[in-house]
Amino acid sequence: MTIPHLIDSLSSQGFFVWDDFLDKSHIKAIKESIPETLHDARIGRQSTLQGNKTIRGDLTLWLDPEMSDPIASYMQKMDEIRKVLNSQCYLGLRDFETHFCRYPSGAFYKKHIDNARDQNRRKITTVLYMNESWELGDGGELVMYDGKDNELLKLEPLSGRMIFFMSEEFPHEVLPTSCQRESIAGWFLTQQFL
């Protein structure tokens, strides 16, 4: 799979699943370099931030290229993709923000859209999965819906797999997981107030 496949699929159906986006050794190196300073995920903007385990139960950590070379090279690859998307799709993507997520056994993330109510800088969502030994029955699948709430896709969180989707178009949820589930979510951002 290549960037032209990504561009075709994003513009025709609004999402794209890229298997083996990163190889297993790169995933392992990223995992090993994540600092153990995860926080309860929070919902909403600054004035309304809340930890709410009835909506989502993951722990998160914002990533920075200074954390390690493997994290820097993942962010570098995403920045290259951002530039190609801008040159071919005129999306005006300015930045990429990304955090590591760990769902302990039993955690889930109820159906939602990624943009907090009063801001829409998030244009494209990305999620990179990091679960080397995921098996059917482990749960934690991503379920995506269309604007009419029809189920579009149920995706196993397999290591190395990355999904890209238009942030505002697809309500989605993470089904309860029965094993620890790790991923890196990211968002390509437009300029503020676009």
* Residue 122 lies near ligand OGA (rule: CB under 6 A): no
Q: Does 182 bind ligand OGA (CB under 6 A)?
A: no
Alpha-carbon torsion 98, 104, 107, 108, what sign? Answer: positive
Closest contact distance (angstroms) between CB of 172 and Mn ion is: 6
Q: How far apart are CA 24 and CA 186, in angstroms?
A: 19
Q: Which of 82, 121, 123, 172 binds ligand OGA (CB under 6 A)?
A: 172
Check residue 109 for interaction with ligand OGA (CB under 6 A). Answer: yes
DSSP string, 104-159: -TT--EEEE-SS-TT---EEEEEEEE-BTT--TTSB--EEEE-TT--EEEEE--BT
Q: Binding Mn ion by CB under 5 A: which of 58, 114, 141, 182?
A: 114
HSE, side-chain direction, 13 A CA sphere, residue 6 = 22
Q: Which C-beta is closer to ligand OGA: that of 10 or that of 174?
A: 174
Q: CB nearer to ligand OGA: give 85 or 185.
A: 185
Give the interface size with ligand OGA as a residue count (CB under 6 A). 9
- The answer to whether 162 contacts ligand OGA (rule: CB under 6 A) is no
CA dihedral 118, 119, 123, 125 (to 10 degrees): -80
Positions touching Mn ion (CB under 5 A) are 114
Positions touching ligand OGA (CB under 6 A) are 101, 109, 114, 127, 142, 172, 174, 183, 185
